[in-house]
Chains A and B, each alone.
Chain A
Amino acid sequence: MSSNKQPSTKTLNLLLQYEVGGGQKYYEKFLSKFTWPKGASGPTIAIGVDCGYYTPAELAQIFSFLSSEQIELIQGASGKTGAAGKQYTVKLREAGITVSWEQAKHIFETLTWPKFSKLAEKAFPGLNELHEDAYGAVVSLVFNRGTSMRGDSRREMRVIKMLVPDKQYAKIAAQLRSMKRIWVGMGLDGLLERRDAEASLVAGCI
């Protein structure tokens, strides 16, 4: 059962830093139109809404404030990730679709955060018993890495799953830092920074 926790201030700051470059000013300047954050991402807008990983029905609900033509175009982004996502982002940018900061915040508060905190709680049983900052760090991890636990690249996530019920903050932080191995030399140094920030957030709960 979901705990309906709200993000702590530190969690919110971390998510805003790594999802929209810090906040309103940066968002309005560069991110109010669709962008593509590299990797296997899809067209992304608002506070980390990666349309490639949402169903057309979810996208229609998220962007209900837009015109029906625009919603239809956004629904076409569903399932388009990686190179296809990049290509479709160009199309969405050309259409001139924008999401204001206020709308982005509303989406985050009412849809994105509840969705991802629920997913994180399901993937990491006992998560809602953690300190609010550690809880937020793990939600941020799920936000960015999803809930899959399969394969070598996700071995740290499996370890974290075992550590969460015992509230082993130091070990969880170490696992978050250990994950950085995946992105070293990949031209995605921002993700190394993000994992460090999440680890520091968890370590601060000790």
Chain B
Amino acid sequence: MLTNVLKTAASFLQQGVAPPNTPPEQVEQLASTNHLASKKFFLAISGFVILAIFYVGSVAALFLMVESPTAISSYTTMFTKTMEVFATIMACYLGGQALVDLKYNSSSSASLQGTTNESINETISISKEEVTVIHTNAKEDDYELE
């Protein structure tokens, strides 16, 4: 089971890989889905990673506090409350976004609307009458070569 969970998580973070046990008719669709385009998925996965880092860090900090046991209680309270607030913010965002998506039938996926230089260049219309592409080599009226 743990293997399947890890494989599923890995498949969500890769292109061209479907999670294990995906019905054959949906393999292609799931394999080609960019899960990171979903803001909710992105936030959840980044939240999970951040929490994991915090957890490992906090345990490491506890080892360093062996010499001052009185501070451990305050430290754990601070850590717990910070995590609570962080998790609440994430949950509120995810819940709010889900409600908005439900109401407006949107996907909340990040869409790439930027244009590359190449596509900008492609918009240069070179119609029959339009003969200028670049003008960085334009000549002056008194241009001459002697």
> Could you list which residues of chain A lie within 8 angstroms of chain B, going by C-beta atoms?
17-21, 26, 29-31, 34-42, 44, 48, 50, 52-53, 81-82, 86, 89-90, 93-94, 119, 122-123, 143-148, 150-151, 153-154, 182, 188, 190-191, 193-194
Contacts and interface: CB of A to CB of B under 8 A. Distances in A.
Main secondary structure, interface of B, reads loop
Contact of A190 (B121, B136, B142): B136
B133 A30 contact: yes
A93 B137 CA distance: 19
A147 B146 contact: yes
Interface in B84-115: none
Given A30-B124, A35-B132, A119 B145 contact: yes
Contacts of A34: 131
Interface string B122-146: 1010101101111111111111111
In which size bucket is the chain B interface? 20 to 34
A123 B145 CA distance: 10
Contact of A150 (B129, B132, B142, B145): B142
A31 B133 contact: yes
Given A36-B132, A146-B140, 8 more contacts: A30-B133, A35-B132, A53-B144, A86-B131, A143-B137, A153-B142, A182-B140, A191-B135
Contacts of A188: 135, 138
A37 B114 CA distance: 28
Contacts of B126: 30
Nearest to B143: A146
A25 B123 CA distance: 16
Interface of B: 121-122, 124, 126, 128-129, 131-146
Contacts of B129: 90
Contacts of B142: 146, 148, 150-151, 153-154
Contacts of B143: 40, 53, 81, 145-146, 148
A125 B68 CA distance: 81
A194 B137 CA distance: 9
A161 B128 CA distance: 42
B78 to A, nearest CB: 54
A48 B137 contact: yes
Contact of B139 (A31, A81, A94, A153): A81
Contacts of A122: 146
B138 A39 contact: yes
Most buried by A among B124, B136, B141, B145: B136
A148 B146 contact: yes
B141 A40 contact: yes
Contacts of A150: 142
Contact of A41 (B122, B128, B137): B137
